[in-house]
Amino acid sequence: MTNNTAAHIEIRNLTMAYGSFVIQRDLNFDINRGDIFVIMGGSGCGKSTLLKHMLGLITPKKGDILYNGDSFVNASSEQQDAVRQHWGITYQSGGLFSAMTLAENINLPLQLYTNYSKSEIADIIAYKLALVGLAGYQDYYPSEISGGMRKRAALARAIALDPEILFFDEPSAGLDPISSRLLDELIVQMKESLGATVVMVTHELPSIFDIATNSIYLDANTRTMIGYGDPQYLRDHSDQVVVKQFLARGIEPKKTTGEY
């Protein structure tokens, strides 16, 4: 069932824990349709753990996660699998299967979830690779292309089924600044062409400020979210010092009179 409310994803009273050790507690936020939503915070705060909860890889200690207004946590395995078919996911390393060509990697979701013929799948693979700037690379193996190209190939696989939601875990990790910027631009292009919602774990400030439309900040000390909103607004107006410090990294202080 799909509703027409702005919230595509709702996190309600979510507590994440490993046994008795609480990672984050009492998380409440919405991700609106069409958002590029960033999950940010310092090392060890639970960013990737939250993403795994949203993907259904970890069961919450408490609370709920809703997609299109329906509980994902309380859904059956079959219902969860049906929801996942509308997602595209990329991982820090790209997550490509090294023993498969790029075409074979992209073929996996198409083979599993569609009834397209071999020729139709071949056309889709060629089209998705072309969208990410890898036209003609069907027969290359991941080891034969650069890190930035592997990230783009992973994105081609993620968009194979034209997903409603794209999830990214540190998409720019290990990339040089130019490759990182090009990947950010590509994420925006794919989001706009698909009309998708993007959820991204990252600590990269250029990505946060260049493409994010909304965000949360997870704090490792208080073990809850202490920032929620547009990153630029949080940087300039948050009443939490740690949030402002995180978002102001790398900004040189203004020189005072008498300094040359």
Mean pLDDT over 43-55 rounds to: 95
Kindly indicate the confidence band of residue 5, based on its pLDDT and cuts at 50, 70 and 90: low
Rounded to the nearest integer, the mean pLDDT of the chain is: 91
How does DSSP assign the chain, residue by residue?
----SSEEEEEEEEEEEETTEEEEEEEEEEEETT-EEEEEESTTSSHHHHHHHHTTSS--SEEEEEETTEESTTS-HHHHHHHHTTEEEE-TT----TTS-HHHHHHHHHHHH----HHHHHHHHHHHHHHTT-TT-TT--GGGS-HHHHHHHHHHHHTTT--SEEEEESTTTT--HHHHHHHHHHHHHHHHHHT-EEEEE---HHHHHHH-SEEEEEETTTTEEEEES-HHHHHHH-S-HHHHHHHTTTPPPPPPTT--
Kindly indicate the confidence band of residue 53, based on its pLDDT and cuts at 50, 70 and 90: very high
**Model-level pTM?**
0.89
Kindly indicate the confidence band of residue 1, based on its pLDDT and cuts at 50, 70 and 90: very low
Residue 256 has pLDDT above 70, yes or no: no
Q: What is the pLDDT of residues 141-199, one digit of tens each?
A: 999 999 889 999 999 999 999 999 999 998 888 888 888 899 999 999 999 999 999 99
Domains of the chain: 34-45+84-247 (3.40.50.300)
Give residue 2's pLDDT. 45
Of residues 242 and 6, the one with the higher pLDDT is 242
Give residue 186's pLDDT. 92
Of residues 2 and 84, the one with the higher pLDDT is 84
Residue 86 has pLDDT above 80, yes or no: yes
Mean pLDDT over 6-14 rounds to: 94
Q: What is the pLDDT of residues 234-249, one digit of tens each?
A: 999 999 999 999 999 8
